[in-house]
Amino acid sequence: MRIVTWNLWWRYGPWRQRREAIAATLAELRPDVCGLQEVGGAEADRARDDDGDVLGIGNAILSRWPIAGSIEMRLPSAAGDGGRAVCHAHIEAPGGTLPMFTTHLTYRPGGSSARVAQVRRLAGFVAEHAAGCAYPPVVTGDLNAEPDADEIRLLGGLLTDPAAPGLVLVDAWRYADPAGPGFTWDRRNGYQADSPLPDSRIDYILVGLPRAGRGQVRAVTLGGTAAVDGVWPSDHFAVVADLQP
């Protein structure tokens, strides 16, 4: 079972060319389930594209298997940050129900306290909607924090008391080649060459403890790490994890 998380950088940059590069990259990765952030979609009171269509920005879950139900919950928002939310879907995978989540936490250097508040709300939501499923929860997203940050430690529940009782989420990158830093915000990316921020690992696939063997992380790597026909698909690299089905 292949899971991908990717921040698509909304409609920024050369969007029409990027759209083709995104599609080509996903076709090459062949994911079963995607958690996507900064996705453009129709929504009132938002920007308009070149064709005059009204656009929003948010999270999305894509699946090659049926989605039995979905729900979105708003997260606490920092001042001037706009709305933040978590998107959840119950996916009818071959081995049973997979509880899938994707989110995009506050972006702000020094904004850990805002993200901690968001993580506390997120963890309770995950625990509630993952109960009784065949697979452990899979939480994906651009969390805008590095692995040793308070908010990541709190959400994982391994290095400190979990934000929701009993909820333990394993960072899939722990199963990667130790030589690979896993930077998803990386100055190798053509859009990040002049970034004032250092290379960082801020995008995650977090997986609950296996249930009857299902959900064990088998491999993990990065995706979208090269330009397609001269166009970088996004300003973030994707994370790609293979789980035991």
Domain map (residue ranges) of the chain? 2-243
Answer positive or negative: Cα dihedral of 210, 36, 116, 175.
positive
Closest to 228 (Cα-Cα) out of 1, 8, 19: 19
Supply the pLDDT for residue 26.
98
Q: Cα separation of 204 and 174, whole Å?
A: 11
Q: How confident is the model at residue 190 (pLDDT cuts 50, 70, 90)?
A: very high
Q: Alpha helix locations (H) across the chain?
A: 15-29, 112-130, 150-156
Sheet holding 2-7, edge to edge: 56-63, 33-41, 2-7, 238-243, 217-223
Supply the pLDDT for residue 48.
52
**Mean of the per-residue pLDDT values for the chain?**
93
pLDDT tens per residue, range 16-61 = 999 999 999 999 999 999 999 999 875 544 455 455 554 689 999 9
Residue appearing with tokens 């995650």: 204
Contact by Cβ (8 Å): 60, 4: no
Supply the pLDDT for residue 55.
60
Could you tell me the CA-to-CA distances from 138 to 3, 23, 62, 84, 201 in Å, in that order?
A: 9, 23, 13, 19, 18
- What is the second-level CATH architecture of the domain 2-243? 4-Layer Sandwich (3.60)
pLDDT tens per residue, range 72-104 = 999 998 777 878 999 999 999 999 999 999 999
Q: Cα separation of 94 and 192, whole Å?
A: 39
Closest to 243 (Cα-Cα) out of 159, 104, 89, 140: 140
If phi > 0 it is left, if psi is from -120 to 50 it is alpha, else beta; for residue 142 that is beta
Supply the pLDDT for residue 81.
80
Residue 198 pLDDT > 60, yes or no? yes
Q: Cα separation of 10 and 23, whole Å?
A: 14
Could you tell me the CA-to-CA distances from 245 to 70, 88, 217, 228 in Å, in that order?
A: 21, 19, 10, 31
Could you tell me the CA-to-CA distances from 118 to 83, 143, 144 in Å, in that order?
A: 11, 10, 12
Q: Is 187 exposed, middle or buried (0-12, 13-18, 19+ CB in 10 A)?
A: middle
Supply the pLDDT for residue 209.
97
pLDDT tens per residue, range 128-165 = 999 999 999 999 999 999 999 999 999 999 999 999 99
Q: Which residues contact 23 (CB under 8 A, 6 or more apart)?
A: none
Amino acid, res. 28? E
